[in-house]
Amino acid sequence: MIEMNNMNQMMKQVKKMQEQMLKAQEELGEKVIEGSSGGGVVTVEVSGHKKVLSITIKPEAVDPDDVEMLQDLVLTAVNDALSKADELANNDMGKFTGGMKIPGLF
């Protein structure tokens, strides 16, 4: 009988942890992370779920004779934002996984 009580208690704890993880994942999606490049002439905002929300390009970043530089600035800003989003996800969700990366979780 004691083992059954322990099993029930463990299942309750697992369910509570699952609920906390789902809430943390939902909250992560509501967070906005900003990446930038070129000293802030290009900024990109992404959600905690790594969805690009906005790209802002200041006029001084636009040089019709050097489109490649603008492309590089946008790429760098996007990668900066996504890298920060990964870091945020690892910090927020890592408390549930003990730092282990579980495929498909985040």
| pLDDT, position 1 | 61
DSSP designation for 61: G
Does the pTM surpass 0.85? The reply is no
- Ordered by start, the domain boundaries in the chain are 30-95
Considering the domain 30-95, what is its CATH architecture?
2-Layer Sandwich (3.30)
User: Does residue 105 carry a pLDDT above 60?
Assistant: no
At 1, list the tokens.
């009988």
Averaged pLDDT for residues 86-92: 87
Q: Which one, of 19, 35, 15, 21, lies nearest residue 89 by Cα?
A: 21
What per-residue string of b and e applies to 47-73 under the rule 16 or more CB within 10 Å gives b? bbebeeeeeebeeebeeeeeeeebeeb
pLDDT of 18-31, one tens digit each? 888 888 888 888 99
